[in-house]
Amino acid sequence: MSVRERPADCLFCKVVAGDVPAEIVHATDSAVAFRDINPQAPMHVPVVPSSHYANAAELAHGEPSCAAELLTVAAAVAEKEGISDYRPVFNTGAEAGQVVFHTHLHVLGGRPMTRPPG
């Protein structure tokens, strides 16, 4: 896990630390996956890095192996849930729909996904 400082007001840092309750569905040394409290699909699981980066671009630059780990965890979550087809989504920036500014990969599945996705 990175030694990066965790902002005191970051919701996902608090989930990673165990300070905010969440239904954890998968965890590794560098990532945590948990059920979304406002699911947009039957399976909606955010996957977050244990270290704090504001968005996917920052994570890819700072810890590229962790960025790849989020995709590996997404696949493991889908497999555990019995879902073969799923949509991984990063929202990077407020205009793209990012609400919590801690990198997170949404894993959505369990129903047909519509196109276009935005």
Any idea which residues carry the catalytic annotation? Answer: 104
Dihedrals phi, psi of 63, to nearest 5 degrees: -145, 75
Dihedrals phi, psi of 109, to nearest 5 degrees: -170, -175
Greatest alpha-carbon pair distance for the chain in Å reads 40
Tokens of 78: 């889908």
